[in-house]
Amino acid sequence: MMRTLSHVQGKGCLAHNNRCFKPKNVDSSRTPDNVIYIQQDIAEAYRNLFTDAVNQYNARQKRNDRKIMNGYFDHLFNHAPCGKVIESPNGQKSFYEDVVQIGTKDDTGVSSPDAATAKLCLDEYMQGFSMRNPNFYVFNSVLHMDEATPHLHIDYIPIGHYTRGVPVQNGLSQALREMGYGGGKDAINRWRISERAVLGDICRAHGFEIAEENPGRGYSFTVEEYKRHRDTIKDYERQEETLRDEIQPLLDAKAIAEPLAVKGFSLPGNKKIINAAEFEALDTQKKAYALQADEYRRSSEQFQSRTAELDEREKALQEREAKLSEDEIRINQKFREAWEQESSADTLKWKAQELYNTQVDLNKRYEKSEKDREYYTGRCLCVEREKKKLEEKLQTAEKRLDNLRMSKGNEISKLNEQINALTSENAELREKKRDHDKELNEQAQAYDEKIKDLQLKYDAANGLLDAAYEVGSYIGKRCGINFNDALDKRSDGYSMSYIFGSGRER
Averaged in consecutive runs of 10 residues, what is the pLDDT profile of the chain (506 residues)? 90 91 89 95 96 94 90 92 90 94 93 93 96 97 95 97 94 95 90 95 94 56 50 60 56 47 55 63 67 67 70 69 64 65 68 76 81 82 84 84 74 78 82 82 82 82 80 82 80 78 52
pLDDT the model gives residue 473:
83
| DSSP result, 153-200 | EEEEEEEEE-SSSSSEEE-HHHHHHHTT--SSTTHHHHHHHHHHHHHH
Q: At what angle do helices 409-479 and 276-407 cross, to 10 degrees?
A: 80
Q: Which distant-in-sequence residues (6+ apart) come within 8 Å of 350 by Cβ?
A: 177, 183
pLDDT the model gives residue 126:
97
pLDDT the model gives residue 216:
46
pTM of the model: 0.47
Alpha carbon distances (Å) from 502 to 373, 390, 475, 493? 124, 109, 20, 15
Compute the distance between CA of residue 442 and CA of residue 4 in angstroms, rounded to an integer: 127
Closest by alpha carbon to 6, among 130, 152, 225, 135? 152
Exposed / middle / buried, residue 141 (Cβ in 10 Å: 0-12, 13-18, 19+): buried
Alpha helices in 206-275 (DSSP H): 223-256
Alpha carbon distances (Å) from 45 to 50, 139, 162, 333? 9, 7, 19, 41
pLDDT the model gives residue 323:
66
Amino acid letter for position 325:
S
List % helix, strand, coil for the chain (3-state, nearest 5): 65, 10, 25
Q: How far apart are the first and last CA of the chain?
A: 157
Alpha carbon distances (Å) from 470 to 76, 467, 483, 494, 504? 123, 5, 10, 21, 27
Compute the distance between CA of residue 55 and CA of residue 69 in angstroms, rounded to an integer: 10
Do residues 171 and 135 touch, judged by C-beta distance below 8 A?
A: no
Do residues 245 and 239 touch, judged by C-beta distance below 8 A?
A: no
Closest by alpha carbon to 170, among 57, 88, 65, 67? 88
| CB neighbours of residue 67 within 10 Å | 14
Compute the distance between CA of residue 263 and CA of residue 279 in angstroms, rounded to an integer: 11
| CB neighbours of residue 227 within 10 Å | 11
Compute the distance between CA of residue 356 and CA of residue 343 in angstroms, rounded to an integer: 19
- 183 — phi, psi (to 5°)? -115, -175
Residue count (the chain): 506
* Beta-strand relationship, 2-3 and 209-210: parallel
